[in-house]
Every structure is written in C-alpha cells, then in structure tokens.
Chains A and B, each alone.
Chain A
Amino acid sequence: MSESTTTCDEHGPPPDLEAQPVIVEVRNVNKAYLRGSHIIPVLQDINFDIREGEFLALMGPSGSGKSTLLNLIAGIDKVDSGTIVIGGVDITALGETELAHWRATHVGFIFQFYNLIPVLTAYENVELPLQLTGLTRAERREHVEMALSVVNLAHRMDHYPSQLSGGEQQRVAIARAVVTDPTILVADEPTGDLDRASAKEIMSLMCRLSRESGKTIIMVTHDPKAAEAAQVIRHLDKGYLNHANS
C-alpha cells in the first residue's frame, strides 16, 4: 500500500460541499444478518448525507458494517428498515427489476478484486454496462474508447484481463464504472489487492474523477493513506456511524 499520502490537490481544488446539493440521504438505516438462530446487527440507526461531488471514505475495522453500508447505497442489498434516497429516488422502495435498471444507470462499481469478466477483452468489459442502455454500437464504441482513454488504456483495449497487470485491470474496472456516467461511484477497497505503485496510480485516478469530473465517490477502505485522498472520512464501528467526521 502507498507509504506517501495521496492527496487530490494536484488535480484541482476541492469542491465547496456546502454549496452542493445533497445527492444521497441515508435515514434511520438498520440491517442485521441471521446467522443460525442468532440475529446479528450489522448497521444500527445510520443517518448521514452525501453531497454531489463529495469524495467520501468509509472506514472502520473488519465487521464494522462499512461494506454492508456501501452495498445498501449501491442497491445490491436491502435494508431491514430506514430509507436511502439517491438523486431523489428512494431506492429502498424499488422492486428488484427497477433496482437493476436503477443500478445500470446510476451506479458505477469498483471492486477490490476488479471483477472483470475473464473471457471478455478490456473493451468488451467496459462495454458491458452500455449493453443495458439503448445506445447503438457506434455510440457504445465512442463511450468505451473515451472511458479507456481516461484511464490511459486505450492501447490495451483488445487485451484480456489475464494479459493485464493488477493495476491495469483495476483501471479497466474504473473505466467500466464511469462509462455510463453514473450518479455515484462505489468503490470497495479499490487498492486492497494492489502493490504500492499501482495503488497510488489508482488513487490518483480516483482523485481525477473527483476533482476534474466532479464525480460523487463513496469508497470503503482499511487504508488510512488511501482515505486521505477523500474529502470526507466517516468511521463505522460495530454498526454505528461515528458522527465526528474527518
């Protein structure tokens, strides 16, 4: 992991969050898992807002519920109670099909282990989310090439994931996450599987997306140095959100 702190300042000044509208409202969210006959609370009464253009880092020890919270905001898991409103849409009220449609247009995913489809080329991986839109093949090509050029991998578009390094695979995953121009980017330990240099490169790319493109990013990380790139850091502990923000 990176030894030197990654700051985003070289990519421009941070946005004035107070002037930005709230894009994510998390209200009274509770989530518990059933393990055998035991109910294990994972998130308890979570309340917070994320403003448009905010780069938020969610931190906390293992089992604190940060990934669960990220999954709830990304619409791939369901709350037990409470609401999550994103861009004016209460995603906790959406059915499965509507939620899938919503994810396709509003969420970009960046996973710890990249989660690229191994049998598809970099180009095809990035094109995947666009298959869910009504774009023509030519329009899709234009979007994919642009996304790959943003992550500086346009020259590797015909390579399969196995032909790319970890850092390159994560850059392809970032291109896949941004290609649909989603409302929010969710990143779960995006540097967790990378060497120091690659991690720094990925964080630099995330900074560019935040500062230059104004993307709203919610990142879960264990790494305090990676978290320092974020404008806002929130801590979770044993399912509770620590309201003393960094």
Chain B
Amino acid sequence: MRVPVSYSFRNLWTRRLTTILTASGMALVVFVFSAILMLAEGLQKTLVDTGSWDNVVLIRKGSQSEVQSGIERLQASVIETQPEVAVGPGGRRMLAKEVVVLISLPKRGTDKPSNVIIRGVSGESLSMRPQVKLLEGRMPKPSSSEIIAGESVSRRFTGAGIGETLRFGMRDWTVVGIFDAGNTGFSSEIWGDADQLMQAFRRPVYSSVIFKLRDASAFDAFKARVESDPRLTVEAKRETRFYADQSEMMAKFLRILGMSLTIIFSLGAVIGAMITMYAAVANRTAEIGTLRALGFQRRSILGAFLMEALLLGFIGGAVGLFLASFLQLLTISTLNFQTFSELAFSFTLTAEIVWQALLFSLVMGFVGGVLPAFRASRMKIVDALRTT
C-alpha cells in the first residue's frame, strides 16, 4: 500500500524555501530547454507555413536553396506545359517563374547590414500564395522598378518603408506596397518584377519554378517523370517539404546547441535536487522508521520519496514552461544558414514541447530523487527510530 500522496506534497510545502530554491533551478533548466525547442519549432513552423501542400517547387538538381539554383528559360517553358499544372481563372496556368537573389541592406537604428531575399515574381506568384496580403500601398506595375516589402523587412531595414527608395542592382527601387505574409518566411522578403530583377542582376536564368498542382495527389508521378526527363536537370518538391528542408540545418543547430546547454544546466539542477532529497531523508529518518514500523513496506517508502522528487521536478517544469510561454510574445530574427538570408520568426510553444519539457523535468526529479529514496527505503527500522 502506498504512503498517501498528501504526505509527499505536504513535506514539500513544509520545506517551502528549499522547495522553491530547488524547483527554481529546475525551472531555469526547463525554461532553457523549452526556449530552444520553441525556437527550433518557430523556425520550422515559419518556413513550413511558407509553403502550400498543393504547390510544387522546382529547382536545379543538387541545389540546396533557390539562391544556388538556376533554371533556364527553355526548361521553365517545358515545365509550364506539363499536364499537372493547374489552370486558373481565364485559362491562365497557375505557375510562376521566379528569381531569387540575396542583397545586403542596413538595419534601421544600427546601420548594420544583413542579408535580405529579393524575389522576382511573375503574374501568378501572388495568387498561389493566399497567405500573402497587401497591407498598404499597391502592387508594383509590371516592367517597372517598383517593389513591395514584407512587413517584417519594412519594419527592420532602412529604406524599406512605403514610399522609400532602396538602391541595389545599380538601380533605385521604390517601395510602393507593404505586404503581410503572416508567420511565414515571405514576410522577410522583398518582391519585384522577375524580368526587371533578372536584368538588374544580369541573371539570365530563373531560380525556381513554382506551380499549383491540378490534382494534389499527382505529385509523385509528376516528380518521377520530370526528374527523369533528360531535358530537365531539376528536382521537384512539394512547397511545404521544400521550406521544411530550408529550416533543417538551422533547426538542427539550434537543437544541438540547446541540448548541450540543457544537459550542462540539468546536471546542476539534478545535483540540487539530490542534495534537497538527501537532506529530506536525513531530516525525516525517524518518520521513515515510524512508517516502516506501522507496516509500510520498503517500496512504499521508496515510492513516497520518489513521488516527492517527481513533484519537485513537476513544479520546476510547470514554472519553467509558464515562464517560457511568454517568449511567444517575442519575434526574433536570425540568419538562416541554408539561404544566408535574414529570417524573422517567433518562439512557438506546441503541445509536444509541453509534453517533452514536463517529461524532462520529471526525469530530472527522478534522477535527483532515486538515490536518496533508495537510502530511505534501505534503512533499518530500529536504527531509524533511534534518531528520534
């Protein structure tokens, strides 16, 4: 039979100061653990949300990103004639040939330069991305040196506000509109006319071709055919997969960094919990003797002290998670290693992170409590009672 849970809970409450200090150490570790997971999740979510399931991105085979890719005009025309390409209102093919270049722009306030993606878009680019909405101003006129900036870019980069002028590609470009793309990577881009940008940057090839599938389930067959077509040296990916791959290296880096930090921190927290639990066992030796004398088994004592350590871990975990949840209010920007461009994203808390963080905190509590709990359960009744 178990020792009542209230026994473990109230012992923690009785030693409030020790409990708070120990749980705080654990909360700090869980905060770091959760923050790193939220960061990686936010990065991935931002990039995955950037894509649509029924859109297909084609880039040159072997390219890691659109910036490295090149698709010749002839190849783009071959792709445009594929039967899987959806046809929109007015009989137009739902396909966009885009060019992506990286430029360096100074940030507002600091004048420190950072890389920004310039995306040359064509007619259907906007209609294929329903998440992109014009916030203010208007769309650029075709064949003009007009651009629109993502809301995040316009806020953080000098000259990217509406009516302002940016100089790149040996031309002055006027910002005529600001668009919102939600929590997607497009918010960190500047869009202009594809042909104008190709001329300005002297790029004779497109970076990517994006089209909407007529039938979303036709992707696998399309991919197999187009990747084996000798005229095309391209790789086809669903847009969601494409952007998820873009975040992979960064997310992996964040996770490795985060896990390393967390492991180092957690060692300290576990030792803290262990000291607390050893002290608890030492202070309650007579109680342990009494419980055993009354008929509670060794395993009941083990369970009671483990329960106490787990509760300690849970409290630390819950507090750490609660504090980490406020990080969702922050938006941060960093360099995406895959594209070398600046990307703004938010910390994202998911049910899986909550579960992982709480499990982690319970593991810390368990590891910290298991040895003291064993000591408590191994005591001889007579010896324990003698310490009264």
Contacts and interface: CB of A to CB of B under 8 A. Distances in A.
B381 A104 contact: no
B192 to A, nearest CB: 70
A111 B385 contact: yes
Interface in B251-300: 286-287, 289-298
Chain A interface size band reads 20 to 34
A132 B14 contact: no
Interface residues of B, number: 26
B294 A76 contact: no
A71 interface: yes
Given A77-B381, A104-B294, A120 B6 contact: yes
B10 interface: yes
Contacts of A112: 388
A52 B297 CA distance: 28
A42 to B, nearest CB: 11
Nearest to B383: A77
A117 B286 CA distance: 9
If over half of B's interface residues share one DSSP class (helix, strand or loop), that class is named, otherwise mixed; here it is helix
Given A71-B382, A111-B388, A115-B388, A128 B293 contact: no
B11 A100 contact: no
Interface string A96-113: 110011011100010111
A201 interface: no
Contacts of B3: 131
Interface string B349-388: 0000000000000000000000000000000011001001
Interface in B3-21: 3-4, 6-7, 10-11, 13-14
A118 interface: yes
Contacts of B330: none
B382 A117 contact: no
B388 A97 contact: no
A118 B14 contact: yes
Give me the 10 closest cross-chain CB pairs, A-B, nearest first. Answer: A104-B295, A119-B10, A115-B290, A76-B381, A113-B388, A103-B295, A132-B1, A132-B295, A77-B382, A100-B295
Given A111-B385, A118-B287, A132-B295, 4 more contacts: A76-B292, A115-B289, A119-B11, A132-B296
26 contacts: A71-B382, A76-B381, A77-B382, A100-B295, A100-B297, A103-B295, A105-B295, A109-B293, A109-B294, A111-B290, A111-B388, A112-B388, A113-B286, A115-B286, A115-B287, A115-B388, A118-B14, A119-B11, A120-B6, A120-B7, A124-B4, A129-B294, A129-B295, A131-B4, A132-B295, A176-B294
